[in-house]
Amino acid sequence: MLNKLLLKFLSLFITIRYPKAPKAYRYFYRDTYICQLRQLKYIIKDYIIKKPYKSISFSGEFTPDLAFALPFAYWHHKNGTLLDTEGAKYTQELYFFSPNHSEIYPTRTTEGNYNFETPRILYSQDYNMSKWIPVPLKETYRNHIYIFDKPILIVANRYNMEWDGPPVSFLSIEYLEKIFLQYQDKYQIIYNRPRPENITNDNSDIYDLNEYDWIEQQFPKVILMENLFKENKAKAKNFNHLQMMVYANSDHFLSTHGGTGALASYFGGTNIILSKKGGEHHFHCFSKLYPKLSGANVLHARTEQEAMDFLKKHF
């Protein structure tokens, strides 16, 4: 009963406080306050007792894991209150600081996004978050193995189902050809589009863009991330581990909507993100949230042409 009354009160408050907020997004405004209220019951444990007690478990998608669950766990680690963590497959290296991390979720779920124990849920009107410190992935995984004669340009693509429909924000083969032709002599381009078997899948089907063989045949100067994984000179424990080791040595990224863009934003430098639609636009994630992950210069391109314009200006 109290929960229902609270939800009704918050819904009314949001309607009054944010009258111009689209109805489709108002519940994210409400969820922000729910997350903040949930943390009130931990004030004594977090700020007075300060002993390890916090167990953090997250089964949601990759983006909110990176944006909210991981920095929340790191805050507790730095605060001396982290007891253990649970996550999806291939997250051990993300949660390297955890005293006890278990990979208990074989898949990621949409339902798992709605974990109100984290600082925020997916999107928010307020990214001024307490109990939130981004993990220094670049400093942790920088190495002397993935170094080349030219600076690295990571081209991180995806070709997935989006909103139960066909792919929307992806780098087409025609566009990739333009990028490779223009930048392969200036940069060591490393192309990354993980295959389903190399990552933890969620509710989005991964389709085949049929670009791997084409790249190897037409652009031998371009390195495929999956080939680096096959060689595995750094003895990475999984594909996520390898990605972080390679990304840590780069300051130049072209990425796409979703976890692809969020991960690239963890490694500083400049990250151009192609995103044609999504809640991230309304909530200004690319200007207010993603730059917080590492201090990266994050540039939001809504079209491939705009992404090319950013490339010409910054790379």
C-alpha distances out from residue 124 to 110, 119, 284, Å: 17, 10, 9
Domains in the chain and their CATH numbers? 2-122 (no CATH), 141-314 (3.40.50)
pLDDT at 202: 67
Q: Give Cβ neighbours of residue 217 (< 8 Å, ≥ 6 apart).
A: none
Are 222 and 180 in contact by the 8 Å Cβ rule? The answer is yes
C-alpha distances out from residue 72 to 127, 179, 248, Å: 13, 37, 21
C-alpha distances out from residue 105 to 31, 62, 82, 93, 114, Å: 24, 12, 20, 15, 15
pLDDT at 190: 98
pLDDT at 203: 65
Give the global pTM.
0.95
pLDDT at 154: 98
Spatial distance between the Cα atoms of 67 and 261, rounded to a whole number of angstroms: 11
pLDDT at 165: 80
pLDDT at 163: 76
Write out the chain's pLDDT in tens, 315 residues.
668 888 888 888 899 999 999 999 999 999 999 999 999 999 999 999 999 999 999 999 999 999 999 999 999 999 999 999 999 999 999 999 999 999 999 999 999 999 999 999 999 999 999 999 999 999 999 999 999 999 999 999 998 878 778 888 889 999 999 999 999 999 999 999 998 777 776 666 777 889 999 999 999 999 999 999 999 999 999 999 999 999 999 999 999 999 999 999 999 999 999 999 999 999 999 999 999 999 999 999 999 999 999 999 999
Relative to beta strand 82-88, strand 188-192 is unpaired
pLDDT at 9: 85
